[in-house]
Amino acid sequence: MNRHQRANDKGFGRAAGPDAVDRAERCFAAAGYVMTREPSDWVLPSEMHALQRELIGGWAEAAAEIAPEESSMIQSWRVRRQDHVAQNRSRIVVGHDDLGGWIR
């Protein structure tokens, strides 16, 4: 998934993907901003079936696109995770940081 995020050009050059917050923090700090950063993970509890199914499906699709040689393993993972969702045994935590900055 991270490889897929970094590989795609969304019109501004290669995407930063999971490195985006680090890069933004460095750029703003270099421009004189005082920065603050705090973890703010996104938590999807078991009752959020539809969102979990979509997220798992999207991750599997992206992973298979970037690593087609791993399609069988990715498909097995997707089926296993979707089964967990259907049985209310899935909780997804997506790592996320909030970044704030202000000029000195």
The pLDDT, as a whole number, for residue 41 is 96
Q: Distance between CA 41 and CA 21 in Å, rounded?
A: 13
Report the pLDDT value the prediction gives residue 26, as an integer from 0 to 100. 96
pLDDT for 55: 96
Tell me the C-alpha distance between 90 and 53, whole Å.
10
Helix (H) or strand (E) holding 6: helix 2-7
pLDDT computed for residue 7 by the predictor? 60
Is 74 buried (19+), middle (13-18) or exposed (0-12) by CB count in 10 A? Answer: buried
- What Å distances lie between residue 86 and 28, 45, 50, 69, CA to CA? 43, 13, 10, 28
Domain boundaries, the chain: 2-103
Give the model's pLDDT for residue 8: 64
Instruction: Give pTM, 2 decimals.
Output: 0.76
3-state secondary structure of 36: strand
Say what the pLDDT of residue 9 is: 64
Q: Which residues pair with 14 in a beta bridge?
A: 9
pLDDT tens digit sequence for 39-57: 999 999 999 999 999 999 9
Residues of the chain predicted below pLDDT 70: 1-10
| pLDDT at residue 91, rounded to an integer | 97
Q: Tokens standing for 1? A: 């998934």
